[in-house]
Amino acid sequence: MSDLWRLTAHEAHEGLRTRQFSAVELTQSTLDRIDAVEGAVHAFITPTPELARQQAEEADRRFASGTATPLTGIPVGVKDLIVTGGVQTTAGSRILEGFNPPFDSHVYEQIRRAGAVMVGKTNLDEFAMGSSTEHSAYGPTHNPWNLELVPGGSSGGSAAAVAAGECIISLGSDTGGSIRQPAALCGVVGFDPTYGRVSRYGIVAFGSSLDQVGPIGRDVRDAATMLDAIGGHDPRDSTSNPEPMPDLRQYLGQDIRGLRVGVPREYFGYGIEDGVRASVEKAIATLESLGCTVDRELSLPSTEHALAVYYLIAPSEASANLARYDGVRYGFSDRDASTMWENIEHTRGSGFGAEVKRRIMLGTYALSAGYYDAYYKKAQQVRTVIHREFEEAFKRYDVIVTPTSPTVAFPIGAKTDDPYAMYLNDIFTLPSAVTGLPAISLPCGLSDNLPVGVQVIGNFFDEGSVLRVAHALETAIGFANRLPEIAPGTP
């Protein structure tokens, strides 16, 4: 049973339910896999093997008592900006190194209530600011499909851990594409739910009107299972949707004949690689063969402005959110200066990385007197225009299908000196992010032996249609749970 780590969450649940193996055995298989490949992948900032074994023992007791859920005993990775009481939460930054929070986030409460087993806190771009997981203060994560390439970001550790078999399912966060883009580059499934569907309580904030937690899994069913567990109303988050959480797994396996699919022209223009275009076009043709009505003439003309909108709104919100890191209350503190204000200045100068500083300065400038109306206010107005374009589109279509990323995974270091080139990796995920729409990425093929992701976007709180289409497409394509081989003993 040494290869139990290869199972999907629903396959593992069936094995646990029928006593083919125990949660302790499943967890140990996953921990052994971490020991074997983590030195090459670096998916985790803080592995938690002893905690995982304790939680696995609890899971076995739940199976024995008949109180197990579909997540009980399943090894999970948790992005390291999700607060976990008593376990270091760094947000990928030196400024929070050694911070052990005294409480749990809502989503961690939910997966623990479901009986999941946390095997570690996964790596990320510092404060989720990046598209490659190279901006982590704890070193880059490597793509399991090719260790010289990036895994995407900012949830690169969460995506790489699932792809490498270091956990079966994981939690990430998505502000501008940070679940979907790394899922695409690592050949796994990533689901960014509707803004407000999942509570942000206990999530280290980046852009408060954009941040959203979601699952990364081996297949669509696993993603739906995790979202079922973490979604729902939480009164501690004022943006949490008060509507009851539907059972999302009921949509899996439903016939998709007659569904209307829009394919926006703007997503197939300049910058998309030929191999990506070919794989996504093949996926769209597959939807037609499954009985969907596909319209390739959809136009979302404000798509090209989403990048500028995002890089004004998100840094503006970040500049306010990150003001709390002053070295006085928690985390890293530089106290060598002669005054309190100099200590704060030195703490922030040493504790934040270059990309975080860049975005704080950009956001502070956009909010400053004399520039607020020209930049931040204008960005919010254009955001409304993008929102209305999607609203009009969903009067005609059930879902919208696009590429997830314009490229496959690229070499580590290739874009770190060119921020704009790096930002363009999120060009296809940003429009739905700034409007808060639900969207999923699933693998649809290979280009140069690297995974390509196709994105399915749905209307507000219509995760059901997104899952319905994604599951049917996944079944037809047959790519689910295709894990890359990592050479044994790779350093």
Active-site residue among 154, 155, 173, 465? 154
Question: How far apart are the C-alpha atoms of 219 and 302, rounded to whole Å?
Answer: 32
In sequence order, the β-bridge partners of residue 190 are 216, 441
Q: Are 480 and 219 in contact (CB under 8 A)?
A: yes
Q: Indicate the residue type of 280.
A: V
Instruction: From the candidates 22, 178, 432, 465, give the one annotated as an active-site residue.
Output: 178
- Please state, in angstroms and as integers, the Cα–Cα distance from residue 281 to each residue in 185, 197, 219, 268, 276, following that order: 17, 30, 21, 10, 8
Catalytic, 333? Answer no
What is the distance between the alpha carbons of residues 4 and 27, in angstroms, rounded to a whole number?
A: 9
Q: Active-site residue 302, yes or no?
A: no
* Annotated active-site residue in 22, 79, 240, 333: 79
Catalytic (active site) residue 79: yes
Which residues are tagged catalytic? 79, 154, 178
